[in-house]
A = this chain, B = another copy of it.
Amino acid sequence: MDLRARLEAFRAADLYTVITEAFCAGRPGLEVLDACLDAGVRLVQFREKDWSDRALFEGAKAFRARTAAAGALLIVDDRVDIALAVGADGVHLGQEDLPARVAREMAPDLLIGVSTHSLEEARDAADQGAGYINIGPLFATRTKEVPTGALGLDAIRRIRSEVPLPTTCMGGIKLEHIPEIMAAGAERIAVVTAVTAAPDPRAAAADLRQAILAARS
C-alpha cells in the first residue's frame, strides 16, 4: 500500500489496539492480536520496549503476517527500521523518538503517527509531516508515564480545531468512557489494557468498537 491508501485505511478505522505482551495477562501477544482481528479491529500497534532487536523483528514479522491476512493496518512503535524491515504500514513516534520529519524522509510511504500531549506538540507534528496524531493521555494510565499528566476531554476539540490531521485519543480509556469521549470530539480510540488485559480480549474489542460506532452514528 502507498501512503494514500494507508491514510484512507487509517481514517476508516474505529478502534486502535496497542499490543504489548507484558500487558496481555500472561497470554502471548499473538493470541490477543488474533482476538482483536477476529473482533474486526483493523488498526493495530506492535509495541514492545525491552525486547532485543532480533526479537522485535521476529515479533513484528509475525504481527505483519496476521494483520496482512486480515487486511488490517500494522503500526510499529518507535522503530522505523523494524517497520521497514517487516513491511509494516507505519511507525508511531513519541516525543523522545526520532523526529517525525526525519522518519518521513527515511520512509516516505510509512504512515507516521506522533504521540502529542499538548496543542503545541500537535502543531509541531503536523509541521513535521505526521500522518496522524495521538492525543493523550486523556485519563491516568498505568501503561505510560507522561510528565504532563492527564489532558482531559477539552483538549480533544481544542487540538482538532487547530490541527488538520486524523487523530486517535488514548490514555486510561475504558468502555464506559466512550460516549463522553466521542461526544467531546474524538474520531477513534486507542487502547492497551482495556483490550489486552481483559478476560476476553475479543469481546472487549468488539464492545469498544460497537460503542465507538454507536457514538458516531
Contacts and interface: CB of A to CB of B under 8 A. Distances in A.
B106 A85 contact: yes
Contacts of A80: 81, 85
A53 B106 contact: no
Interface string A53-86: 1110100000000000000000000111110110
Interface stretch (A17-25, A92-100, A191-199, A200-208): A92-100
A52 interface: yes
A51 to B, nearest CB: 9
Given A81-B79, A81-B80, A99 B57 contact: yes
A214 interface: no
A52 B96 contact: yes
Contacts of A106: 81, 84-85
B97 A85 contact: no
A55 B97 CA distance: 8
A12 interface: no
A119 to B, nearest CB: 21
Interface string A123-144: 0000000000000000000000
Interface string A28-69: 000000000000000000000000111101000000000000
A183 interface: no
Contacts of A213: none
A182 to B, nearest CB: 33
A102 interface: yes
A146 to B, nearest CB: 14
Nearest to A83: B81
B57 A102 contact: yes
A97 B53 CA distance: 4
Q: What 9 A-B pairs are tightest by C-beta distance, nearest first?
A: A81-B81, A52-B96, A80-B81, A53-B97, A54-B96, A85-B102, A84-B106, A53-B98, A57-B98
Interface of A: 52-55, 57, 78-82, 84-85, 95-99, 102-103, 105-106
